[in-house]
Amino acid sequence: MNIELHSMGENGLIIVYTGKGKGKTTAALGIALRAVGYNYKICMIQFIKGSWHYGEMTSSKRLEPEFELTAVGKGFVGIIDDKSPYEEHEKIAQEALRLSKEKIRSEKYDIIILDEINYAINLGLIKIEDVLDLIKSKPQKLNLVLTGNHVKKEIIEIADLVTEMKEIKHPFKSGVKAKKGIDF
């Protein structure tokens, strides 16, 4: 079967996955998986995750060289076993923002995923103004995906696609712990 491949086009999209339900990072990874099938170059920078092991850290290596994952964060801020000072999380989030700027300016990628960046903004680890500047500086053809709950209205206004994940039912509320391969 002969499949004609088309370029991603001249105008990249700004895509946001937000909401209290599961699936924001998973939806972004779905875009990456699909894009790798067309030999597009994807970079995912994780702003919060980083100190725990989770499946995409290992599976993403199977998608190389088209897919590159960088977990910059130090883990979830202020929950479960987080013993890191807030200032340390803030410093690392600033590093993730600097790395994001570098990757965006490189023009090497078709898609850049800024995973959990909305959480980083909401927690005050990075400034909304800096993220808006980052979005506005993207090359025209670059597709930019932002994930995390608590998306700010300024980002919604400039986004092309915003999807809100809504929790209807979750096994955790019945005492079921997070499952390997499903939740992490």
Task: Round to whole Å and give the CA distance between 90 and 68.
Answer: 23
Domain that holds residue 54: 14-166
Query: For the chain, what is the domain count?
Result: 1
- CATH number, domain of 108, equals 3.40.50.300
Q: What is the average pLDDT value for the chain, to the nearest integer?
A: 87
Spell out where 19-130 has E strands.
42-46, 67-71, 111-115
Domain assignment present for 184: no
Query: 45-81, pLDDT tens digit by residue?
Result: 999 876 556 677 788 888 999 999 998 865 555 455 5
Residue type, 61: K
Place of tokens 């993207």: 138
Domain assignment present for 177: no
Structure tokens at 143: 């597709």
Tell me the mean pLDDT in the region 149-170.
Answer: 96
Domain assignment present for 171: no
Domain assignment present for 180: no
Domain assignment present for 2: no
Name which residue leads in pLDDT, 101 or 8: 101
Domain assignment present for 7: no
Query: 103-157, pLDDT tens digit by residue?
Result: 999 999 999 999 999 999 999 999 999 999 999 999 999 999 999 999 999 999 9
Task: Please calculate the CA angle 117-96-39 and round it to the nearest 5 degrees.
Answer: 80
Res. 2 pLDDT band, cuts 50 70 90: very low
**Beta pairing partners, 163:** 17
Domain assignment present for 176: no
Among the residue ranges 19-28, 43-52, 161-170, the one predicted with the least confidence is: 43-52
Structure tokens at 61: 């290596």
Distance, C-alpha 67 to centroid of its chain: 13
